[in-house]
């Protein structure tokens, strides 16, 4: 079965510090991987996605993620965070195919403090 694990429910960090949000996936077949951000009372916005090719993926707002097949991870990183990055971050996967449904992790709240 396909699943996504985000072990950190909350990550506090000071402004301008680097941050890493962890994501591990499990699947017996190849998957596509995504990071979404959700601001309060808003829908999900795609930050970046890994489909194939280069394992280092760059997204919007200065975020990047690295696909590591041997460790089944897809951690999200940003070298310097801003107050405005405070939001809930969701890692997701799907296997493509007929439905293309997304399987989400439980989310990580990134709390940026001044």
Partner 1 sequence: GAGVSQSPRYKVAKRGQDVALRCDPISGHVSLFWYQQALGQGPEFLTYFQNEAQLDKSGLPSDRFFAERPEGSVSTLKIQRTQQEDSAVYLCASSSLQGSGILYEQYFGPGTRLTVT
List contacts with partner 1 (CB under 8 A). 4, 6, 32, 36, 41-46, 49, 51, 90, 92, 94, 96, 98-107
Judged by beta carbon, residue 54 or residue 100, the one nearer partner 1 is 100
User: Least distance to partner 1 from the beta carbon of 14, Å?
Assistant: 25
Across the chain, where does the E strand assignment appear?
3-5, 10-14, 19-21, 24-26, 32-38, 44-50, 56-58, 64-68, 73-78, 87-94, 103-104, 108-113
Residue for token pair 């809930």? 88
Judged by beta carbon, residue 58 or residue 101, the one nearer partner 1 is 101
Judged by beta carbon, residue 1 or residue 114, the one nearer partner 1 is 1
Separation of alpha carbons 16 and 44, rounded Å: 24
Judged by beta carbon, residue 43 or residue 114, the one nearer partner 1 is 43
Q: Are strands 19-21 and 103-104 parallel, antiparallel or unpaired?
A: unpaired
User: Least distance to partner 1 from the beta carbon of 20, Å?
Assistant: 19
User: Least distance to partner 1 from the beta carbon of 32, Å?
Assistant: 6
Separation of alpha carbons 11 and 77, rounded Å: 12
User: Least distance to partner 1 from the beta carbon of 97, Å?
Assistant: 8
């Amino acid at each position: 079965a396909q699943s996504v694990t985000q072990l950190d429910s909350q990550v506090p960090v000071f402004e301008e510090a680097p941050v890493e949000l962890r994501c591990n996936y499990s699947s017996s077949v190849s998957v596509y991987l995504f990071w979404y951000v959700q601001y309060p009372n808003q829908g999900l916005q795609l930050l970046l996605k890994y489909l194939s090719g280069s394992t280092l993926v760059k997204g919007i707002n200065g975020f990047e993620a690295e696909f590591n097949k041997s460790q089944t991870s897809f951690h999200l990183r940003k070298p310097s965070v801003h107050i405005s990055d405070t939001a809930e971050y969701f890692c997701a996967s799907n296997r493509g195919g007929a439905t293309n449904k997304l399987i989400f992790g439980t989310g990580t709240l990134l709390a940026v403090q001044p």
